[in-house]
Structure 1
Amino acid sequence: MENDNILFSRLRSVRTRKRTIKKDVIKQIRKKYQRSDVLWEAKRSVQWIPLEKPYQKGFVRFFIVREEVLRSADGEFFEGILKKINSYMYSDNRQFLKKKRKSGRRIYVEKEQKLNNISLYSWSNPKFELTPRERQYFLKQEEYCPIRKIYKTYYEFIEPWRFTLRIRPHMITHYKPIDSELEKEYAELESYLGQHKIVGIIHKTIYGKSNSWKTKKEDPNLIKSRRYFTCTMSATEIAECFEDV
């Protein structure tokens, strides 16, 4: 009888076994995630090696400060801004064209290129080194993202006319050695960690708990909705009625 009690106490319930399996899966995912970070850092730390014979690979288009602005007293100031918001576009030829359908036929039009916007994270990040005077030349904007269903905040440069586009040959002068074993392992880990279920587990267990619909905060853009505006106006009217009395 005592042996039966000892054997029964050692048996785990179905719920306990499921919890153990879940913990093991999360532990394996965490190890693979950490290994992926190590491999990414190893790839990034590989030093570039100069080529004996540099070669041209198409053309690159970027912004430069206009000559009249560069000759002014604020030339260096706008050069510093441009270093933080400059954008680069590459093409096989100097025309920088793309296909576009018009009236049932395909035509080629020039690719549009704009200055980079500053994200909300970079705006408040001291490492971005944006001075108070430079902040005066940016305007806060909001853009609705239909995929994430949120408003994305960014800062846009308000005087883009101070810069102009310049096209130059894109010269390849350095190369980075490739470790085939490292690249293969990193690709396998990224393929595994990129699965939909795995991404959800990573965001919930590593980055933090996901927001449940029960604990979701009130939408800050609710004030823009018609229903909230109507309620606000009705409350205001009621307050005015009390004031008249």
Structure 2
Amino acid sequence: MDSKLVKQYGSEILSYRLRTVRQKKRMQYEDFDKKLLKLDKEETHLCKQKNTIIWEPLKPPVQRGWNRFFVLREDVATSKHAAFFENILKKINTCDWSHRKDFMVKYRRFGRKKYRVKKQSLLRPDGWRFNRMGFTDEEKQFFDEVWEMDSRKELVKRYVFREPWRFVLRVRPNVIDKIRRRDAMVESRSQEIRNYLDANNYRYRLDKLLDGGVYKWWKGEREREKNVLKNKPLPRILEEVARGLL
């Protein structure tokens, strides 16, 4: 409380618990943050409700575009190692969608529009994902380590299947035979919350309240890679090396 009020009205005014301008302003910010957290909790609850909505069959089924994926080549599928390569394909197979059956995409060359077949390749997992995909020792022998540049211009080690000729692309119609039952009230309220947070750019403030900052994961990654020799004198470093701590 302001000391001027105490001098003017005496110490008895302290019993009224009057708030200063700064305290009132801080309470407004706190109330607004509580409102954002409440909206985030409500939005999460609505998303869970939409995910638990029952699927119902669509009669008649509808075709929407085409799917393209890899299958075993005919000679490989009839060989005695078909089950072995089928198990590998289940882990590195990719599926693509297109509204055209020939999977042609438009591109420009010298200002003119042309068409070419859309490229599709097998999955090239990085080291972290590759070790968690459950490959056996025999299956790992069919992969080569390749260093590539990622989107952040950093070198990443990836594992590439050594014999991609064993698989061929197959195109199938994308048939939709079931749809999710829609709840108009849930979708309307969810869209209302989304519009309020996005239109007023409150997502940044909400992320800061929930996680302490948008880039917290990147800061944590930098902390894990901190130099262990930083701010250590040379005698201490030599002592830790002799003791086998470094």
**TM-score calculated relative to the size of structure 1:** 0.69
Shift in Å, 1:177? 1.5
2:173 alignment partner in structure 1 = 169
2:93 alignment partner in structure 1 = 86
1: CA distance between counterparts of 2:63 and 2:106?
24
Question: Pick from 149, 158, 172: which aligns with 2:161?
Answer: 158
1: CA distance between counterparts of 2:10 and 2:165?
86
2:28 corresponds to 1:25: no
1: CA distance between counterparts of 2:135 and 2:128?
15
- CA 1:111 to 1:29, structure 2 compared with 1: closer, same or farther past 3 Å? same
Shift in Å, 1:80? 2.9
Could you tell which deviates more after superposition, 110-119 or 93-102? 110-119
For residues 48-69 of structure 1, the C-alpha deviation after alignment (integer angstroms, 9 at most, x for no partner) is 2112322322221111122333
1: CA distance between counterparts of 2:202 and 2:129?
28
> What amino acid sits opposite 2:160 in the alignment?
F
1:202 alignment partner in structure 2 = 206
1: CA distance between counterparts of 2:155 and 2:27?
40
- CA 1:11 to 1:78, structure 2 compared with 1: closer, same or farther past 3 Å? farther
For residues 187-221 of structure 1, the C-alpha deviation after alignment (integer angstroms, 9 at most, x for no partner) is 2223334468533223322124455x99994796x
> What amino acid sits opposite 1:80 in the alignment?
N
Q: How does 1:9-24 map to 2 (within 5 A)?
A: 10-24=17-31
Question: How many equivalent residue pairs?
Answer: 214
2: CA distance between counterparts of 1:166 and 1:201?
47
Shift in Å, 1:166? 0.4
- CA 1:216 to 1:90, structure 2 compared with 1: closer, same or farther past 3 Å? closer
> What is the CA RMSD across the aligned residues, in angstroms?
3.6
**TM-score calculated relative to the size of structure 2:** 0.69
1:38 alignment partner in structure 2 = 45
Identity of aligned pairs, percent? Answer: 31
> What amino acid sits opposite 1:143 in the alignment?
M
Contact 1:60-1:168 within 8 A present in 2 as well: yes
3-state SS of the aligned residue for 1:18?
Answer: helix
**If you compute each CA radius of gyration, which structure gives the higher value, 1 or 2?**
2
1: CA distance between counterparts of 2:13 and 2:44?
44
* Structure 1 stretches lacking a partner, 5+ long: 223-245
1:190 alignment partner in structure 2 = 194
Q: How does 1:29-178 map to 2 (within 5 A)?
A: 29-118=36-125, 122-123=129-130, 129-133=133-137, 134=139, 137=143, 139=145, 141=147, 143-146=149-152, 151=154, 153=156, 155-159=158-162, 160-178=164-182
